[in-house]
Amino acid sequence: MFDAILVEKSGDTGAVSARLVQLNDSDLIANTEGDVTVAVAASTVNYKDGLAITGKSPVVRRYPMVPGIDFAGTVLESANPSWKPGDQVILNGWGVGEGHWGGYAAKARVKGEWLVPLPAAFTPAQAMAIGTAGYTAMLCVLALEAHGVTPDKGEVLVTGAAGGVGSVAVALLAKLGYAVIASTGRLAETDYLKQLGAATVIDRAELAAPGRPLAKERWAGAVDTVGSHTLANVCAGTRYRGAVAACGLAQGMDFPSTVAPFILRGVTLCGIDSVMAPLELRLAAWQRLARDLDPAKLAAMTRHIGLAEVIGAAHDIVDGKVRGRLVVDVGG
């Protein structure tokens, strides 16, 4: 038997509920398809995990579901030639925790092609302090670099900066030499953001309301985790031939913008998908994280919780009450 978080949906009311349960290997085999079984050491709490547990958005595609879109651990059994018992691995995305049982359990059974090796620079807990949020932040940085946004081009903006993606993005960009403007709705976190490397902290209210098609050119590039009017205003304030990496929807899925930033300033809007990213991009992102993320800053943004605390944390992250990263200590 092993501990797990199980999310269920009532057939009568459609209400979603989550609870801490004990499962066994037979439950795992009956409810998963895969060729690698992993002893999960750590997971993390992302915004999508919060949505899955609270039911505030229909991200779970079948029930019952063990949520947790990330995990790190050690291979126990493998029928996949790429992995053998004892290998340390990471999983991010691939619909795990949505349509396939995920990381909020002491054991997971997944397809071997979904796994990447744990970089030697990280422990499993550190990898989950990064998690999908940090891996997504690195994908955003790679996109900005690919579109010519270098530190000498000017400031870069990070929205939702006190959240998981935002915190890692601020730390990464500052380490790489960028002057970072951090936008947050929690100005009480100003000191925290400056410790991560932000040069300037602004109130999210500056960007959250409907704006003009074009605004004063302010930043050479941006990482946006918010969407909606915020993303529209981010694009409107981006400098000529700048780039914006969009990876979130905390404010909304809509994009009330015009073509003006794109056809008058040559701004590039880069969509960032971490769930189905190809293996070579995942490996590149994790290699860069091992090189470019300051371990001290990672530790400063991280708090550890137990599996029993995940349900409460899921509500907190959806309500915008979580700063930085939460690591779930699942097993040894």
Residue 332 predicted with pLDDT over 80: no
pLDDT > 70: what percent of the chain? 100
What is residue 21's predicted lDDT score, i.e. its pLDDT?
96
Q: What is the pLDDT of residue 129?
A: 95
pLDDT in tens, 98-146: 999 999 999 999 999 999 999 999 999 999 999 999 999 999 999 999 9
Q: pLDDT class for 257, splitting at 50, 70, 90?
A: very high
When pLDDT is cut at 50, 70 and 90, the band that residue 331 belongs to is confident
Mean pLDDT over 232-254 rounds to 96
Whether pLDDT at 24 is above 60: yes
pLDDT average, residue stretch 146-169: 96
Q: What is the mean pLDDT of residues 250-276?
A: 96
- Residues 15-31 have a mean pLDDT of 95
Where residue 22 falls among pLDDT bands split at 50, 70, 90?
Answer: very high
For range 289-297, the mean pLDDT: 95
Which domains, and CATH codes, for the chain? 2-118+301-329 (3.90.180.10), 132-271 (3.40.50.720)
The chain-wide mean pLDDT, for the chain, equals 96
* Nearby residues of 204 by Cβ (< 8 Å), 6 or more positions away: 159, 160, 183, 184, 185, 226, 230
pLDDT single digits (tens) 60-85: 999 999 999 999 999 999 999 999 99
Question: Rounded CA gap, 44 and 72, in Å?
Answer: 9
Mean pLDDT within 221-246: 98
* Per-residue model confidence as pLDDT tens digits over 165-218: 999 999 999 999 999 999 999 999 999 999 999 999 999 999 999 999 999 999
